Structure 1
């Protein structure tokens, strides 16, 4: 079982590689969909880390994967600028999952 990173910038990928996490840098929805297909086909990947900007490329697709997929686990991490609010993303995810606005 291993981690895999889908990032919007090389800096995050290089930092993760220092701790042994492989990944891809993507900028378009087509690249993201191909990478997600790869991640879901590879049974050795247990956790897929996604930077906030990657999630914003196709938020509906990522949200659906978080809700429906058992494996791998998709986890959003802040990008290198740290200017996103992960708390809002978590609130939206939980609200969609339970069907009640928090």
Structure 2
């Protein structure tokens, strides 16, 4: 599955636009990670526990978007974007979305 943030796939022509596809995941913080993150917050710098949490959530959202596109019979996803929003204190949603297309 080709996934691109561009409007098209270089060297390929779009035969059919199949529609919007999406994949989302909501993740919450974990108590054990919060303790370490709180200690790191005192000295500043990156919080690797949360970096890993968000990276895993992003990959899961992308996988779900690809699965959605495959169900439609897509060859590619163009104009892919990722957004995030806070659901409530301590939890966030990551949403990956784009346009599923079939290529010639």
Could you say whether these structures have the same fold, taking a TM-score greater than 0.5 normalized by the shorter chain as the test?
no
Which protein has the bigger helix share?
Answer: 1
Bigger radius of gyration: 2
Q: TM-score normalized by structure 2?
A: 0.28
* TM-score of the superposed pair, with normalisation by structure 1: 0.28
Higher strand share: 2
**Larger relative contact order, structure 1 or 2 (CA cutoff 8 Å, min sep 6):** 2
